[in-house]
Amino acid sequence: MDESRQTGMDSAGNGSDDWWNPDLEPEEFRRLGYQAVDMIADYFGALDELPVFPGKSSEEIARVFAEPLPQQGSHPDEVLQEWSRRVLPNSTHVGSPRYFGYVNGSGTMIGVLADALAASVNMNPGGWKPGPSATEIERRTIAWIAEMIGYPSDCGGLLTSGGTMANYTGIMTGLRNTAQYDTTAEGLQSGERNGRFLIYMADHEGHVSIKRVADLLNLGRSAVRRVPSRADFTMDPEALQRMIAQDKVQGDHPFCVVAQVGSINVGAIDPLEAIADVCEENRMWFHADGACGAVGAVLPEKRELYAGLERADSVTLDPHKWLFLPYECGCLLVQDPEKLRRSFSMTAPYLRGTLPTEYTGQDYFEYGPQMSRGFRALKVWMTLKHYGVEGYRRLLSQGVRCAEHLDHRVQASKDFERLHAPTLYIYSFSYAPQELQEQANGSRAEQERVESALDWMNQRIADEIQARGTAFIMTSRVHGRTVLRMSICSHRTTLEHIDTVFDALAEIGREAYGEWKSNNGQ
Ligand SMILES: Cc1ncc(COP(=O)(O)O)c(C=O)c1O
């Protein structure tokens, strides 16, 4: 075998005039590929045992990778070994059944293979011509996802990098299609604009990505109006109606309501029918942010909660969350595909090329903000084929059962406090030993002292369980208090994992309480 190919050393660098072809011979690629597949298979085999978090600081990990820019190439065997030597030992195992951070999906195995296959063809379904099968698979996948959740399957839509970009694409479409003038040419700089363009979402559970949308649309973050919530953390539609009416009187232009469909702290689903009514009455765009939870509509036992979702003008749903796809993969559905096209369409002579006209199809660059795009659809399409809707139903209901089981454990313990009933798979609760809570019954000062102790303990528990590698759990704030939050968004988590993790939380909690007592002379 040609040594220059094996080593990746450029023969031109050695003074030869030979043309350099850096590709590997097929047999060499096969050997390395098998090696990579072995590494992946071994990883999946060990995943349940690995510490979830490396427990090292950013500086420590940066030091592992501190090396000069390579001037000369290395042998591909050596490059691949880097994975086991330096990358994996410094990774957070998001696919672990004991990983409960953010809303991160666990990554399907077939999705891993699909990503490798997609990378091999390297199609670019930004346009139809550089990605004909990729485009048609994406269109089919969009229709399937819509059908799965009971949304009209003749809708438009596309896969995005994630929920934030799906929210942006949906709300941008809302702005373009509800503004009093055509915003395409002059945008917000038009003299025809009067008042502010306003977006509405629930005060407690509205997601921060909508602020990013306001950034991207350059509306200013104050354009995101926070609507009061009810006791179950869902948006109060009457308060919404009142706010919109008042804002209109001020001369503003309320254009979009964002409903949470599976909210970030408690998995709440806003009252979709009522919000759809408000939007219809006020001619506003109804965007459902179902990044975390829209896919739950596939569960017959939850279906009622989703009534009205089919009326949303646009729906965000992240396959890299509760469909467990490997990163990145968000998705936006838009009821009227033409409204999406009208919002993003643009043309240039070099975009359509010169193949005969029968070789044309949907150019996704006309339907979203990206031009070049990856073949994300393959992993969604293949995983849907692999599990089927029935398989997904089982996986999703297992996730809900895990959250319900956790809720039972919380309720049965004197050391934990329940904050809400689980709706889907995201569950927040707090460590609050009864003995300490009883002390809060005294003066206001005593109550504050107990609250700050509990906030400290809950943070301490999350930090400690991460540092020990037992589980990845983060804190959040619910009604102003620091709480433990678990997003059980892994198709690998079982009831046994929940028990193990809950027992570990209880133990660390007792230690933290003991530490607090000794620090406070008790
Ligand atoms: C409700 C909701 N919307 C949007 C997003 C943003 O999704 P992404 O991180 O994929 O951009 C998240 C992320 O957790 C979310 O929970």
- How many angstroms is it from 206 CA to the middle of ligand 1? 11
Q: Alpha-carbon distance 396 to 133, whole Å?
A: 29
What would the pLDDT profile of 72-96 be if each residue is shown by its tens digit?
999 999 999 999 999 999 999 999 9
Tokens representing residue 96 in the block? 């672990």
Inter-residue contact 469 to 52 (CB < 8 Å): yes
The SS3 call for residue 140 is: helix
Contacts 24+ apart (CB under 8 A), 112-119: 112/40, 112/326, 113/382, 114/378, 114/379, 114/381, 114/382, 114/383, 115/326, 115/378, 115/379, 117/378, 118/374, 118/375, 118/376, 118/378, 118/379
What would the pLDDT profile of 396-424 be if each residue is shown by its tens digit?
999 999 999 999 999 999 999 999 999 99
What would the pLDDT profile of 290-343 be if each residue is shown by its tens digit?
999 999 999 999 999 999 999 999 999 999 999 999 999 999 999 999 999 999
- How many angstroms is it from 252 CA to the middle of ligand 1? 28
Residue 376: exposure state from Cβ atoms within 10 A (0-12, 13-18, ≥19): buried
Inter-residue contact 457 to 436 (CB < 8 Å): no
Q: Give the nearest ligand 1 atom to 162 CA.
A: 10
Inter-residue contact 81 to 299 (CB < 8 Å): no
Nearest Cα residue to atom 5 of ligand 1: 163
- How many angstroms is it from 99 CA to the middle of ligand 1? 17
Q: Give the nearest ligand 1 atom to 167 CA.
A: 4
- For the CA atoms of 59, 63, 69, 74, the dihedral, rounded to the nearest 10 degrees, stands at -140
What would the pLDDT profile of 441-484 be if each residue is shown by its tens digit?
778 888 899 999 999 999 999 999 999 999 999 999 999 999 99
Nearest Cα residue to atom 14 of ligand 1: 103
pLDDT class of 5 with cuts at 50, 70, 90:
very low
- How many angstroms is it from 275 CA to the middle of ligand 1? 21
What would the pLDDT profile of 437-446 be if each residue is shown by its tens digit?
888 777 888 8
Tokens representing residue 265 in the block? 């702290």
- Residues contacting 358, CB < 8 A, separation 6+: none
If you average pLDDT over residues 157-175, what whole number do you get?
A: 98
Q: Alpha-carbon distance 422 to 410, whole Å?
A: 11
Radius of gyration of the chain (CA): 26
- How many angstroms is it from 166 CA to the middle of ligand 1? 9
- How many angstroms is it from 488 CA to the middle of ligand 1? 15
Distances in whole angstroms, Cα of residue 411 to Cα of each of 252, 315, 419, 458? 46, 34, 10, 17
Q: Which of 159, 209, 488 to mutate to test the pocket of ligand 1 (most atoms within 8 A of CB)?
A: 209
Pocket of ligand 1 (CB under 6 A): 102-103, 162-164, 167, 207, 209, 264, 289, 291-292, 318, 330
For 150-184, give the DSSP string. Answer: TS-TT-EEEEESSHHHHHHHHHHHHHHHHSSS-HH
Q: Alpha-carbon distance 313 to 482, whole Å?
A: 35
Q: Give the nearest ligand 1 atom to 293 CA.
A: 1
| pTM score of the predicted model | 0.95
Tokens representing residue 440 in the block? 């809060």
